[in-house]
Chains A and B, each alone.
Chain A
Amino acid sequence: MAYASGDSVAFQELFRRYAPLLQRMLLRQLRVREEAHDLLQQTFLQLHRARLDFDARQRFRPWIFTIALNLKREHWRRARRRPEAPLDDAMLAELGVDARGAKRWEARRDLLHGLATLRPEQREVIELHWFEGLSFGEIGACLGLTANAVKVRAHRGYVGLRERLGDDLPPLEAESGNREPSPGIDPGSGP
């Protein structure tokens, strides 16, 4: 990696490539823009400090997501709380829940509210998989779990979502065009 050998331009490239993804994830979970930006800043500072730990054979994306997730947990531990602020319309819009149709918009809003009712470990897996596009293997690398354990968590989360939202569970798969429900985690295939 060029940055590990001191290339500051490479650092800016990394920031511009990954900061929007990390910001979106942190904002969705923290719900306070200033806190998300603080953690984003810390994530890249920690990346700088840990640059010599990076092994070029590793994938970079799970590596930096692991830093951000750990910092987020430490932030909650420090604050001794989980986010309580409700998702308002402005936040939903910022998280990519656009208004390309009121019905779909409401469905996505309900989905995010439904996600907030899940157990934190299930919500974390679903958010990383669906919203951030990490594979089960990458999520496992971030959380210190096997891919199968991640699939089990995701499956339980989707089943929980289905129970909470019923038929209102939005057709996420159809929206992005190329999304298909993963065979192992189809919410309809639960027990």
Chain B
Amino acid sequence: MSSRTPHRARSESSENAGLGRPDPGLEAVLTRVEQSIASERGVRAWLRSRSTSSRVVSMCALVAVLALSHLAWARRADWAVYPAGRLVLIAAVHALAVVYSIRVFLAPLTEPQRPGRASWVAGLLLLPVFAALLPELHTTPADQLETSASVRAAASCFFYGGLVVVSVCAVLWCADRGGRAWLVGALPAVVGAGLSAYLVLQLHCANDNRVHLLLGHASIGFAWLVLLLGLRALGLAFQRSK
């Protein structure tokens, strides 16, 4: 079968008919579109009108700069004794997950949607949990802290990771072209930011206590995801009450 439909001629004549008989309603839409385009100014407008590959590369580069700056100036205290292979593996897997989340978040509307992709992206938040549950390979003074002390230390890591999440989400929002439903649109950004925070903390924090890792590092993405879902539920409840 030919890839061209037999009724293409009718469709093309419709296009030409559209040229000949301008619909007043459409002219009003055109005016509104032109006004919207005229208001597309500033850094954010410039950034989101870049090509998708440029936007993804630049956002990933920003996360890389954030991680590398921690590596350079605030690396973990046990850097010299921590198994390099394990660190490289954890960092590489999480970096790939961050890149994928950012790519999904910045996917243009010119690409067909893939159902269920948001669920896959949300599933990436399990990676830090698996990493935290890996068998311990060495003992550092931090490991010998009592659990209560590790939990207290987890609070500061959680707060620091939260700052990373907010920063990454803010930068990603600048590159977003919009047009997606709120929850589905924001989910990959939160996941990507949560994984970025985990990556940064892994390079910075030397506390390998399992409870600390689960509460202070791996939980960051989940916490923001729960916050996102809570805000969505509140929004829906507000809509229903109106």
Contacts and interface: CB of A to CB of B under 8 A. Distances in A.
Contact of B109 (A71, A77, A130): A71
Interface size class of A (residues with CB under 8 A): 35 or more
B10 A21 contact: no
Contact of A21 (B18, B177, B236): B18
B36 to A, nearest CB: 5
User: For chain A, what secondary structure do more than half of its interface residues adopt (helix, strand, loop), or is it mixed?
Assistant: helix
Contacts of B182: 78
B87 to A, nearest CB: 37
B26 interface: yes
Nearest to A17: B15
A176 B109 contact: no
Interface size class of B (residues with CB under 8 A): 35 or more
B116 to A, nearest CB: 12
A42 B138 CA distance: 55
B7 A178 contact: yes
B112 A143 contact: yes
Contacts of B109: 46, 50, 66-67, 70-71
Interface in B149-202: 177-182, 184
Given A46-B109, A134-B5, A17 B19 contact: yes
Nearest to A40: B29
Contact of A49 (B17, B18, B177, B236): B177
Nearest to A138: B3
Interface stretch (A111-119, A157-165, A180-188): A180-188
B81 to A, nearest CB: 47
Interface in B1-40: 1-12, 14-15, 17-19, 22-23, 25-26, 28-30, 32-33, 36-37, 40
Given A44-B29, A48-B37, A70-B113, 8 more contacts: A21-B18, A37-B25, A63-B110, A133-B7, A141-B112, A144-B112, A182-B5, A184-B1
Interface of A: 11-12, 15-21, 23-24, 33, 37, 40-42, 44-46, 48-54, 63, 66-67, 70-71, 73-74, 77-78, 80, 129-130, 132-138, 141-145, 147, 151, 176-180, 182-184
19 contacts: A19-B18, A19-B29, A37-B28, A48-B33, A50-B52, A50-B108, A52-B49, A53-B51, A53-B108, A70-B113, A77-B181, A77-B184, A133-B12, A135-B2, A144-B111, A144-B112, A178-B9, A179-B7, A180-B6
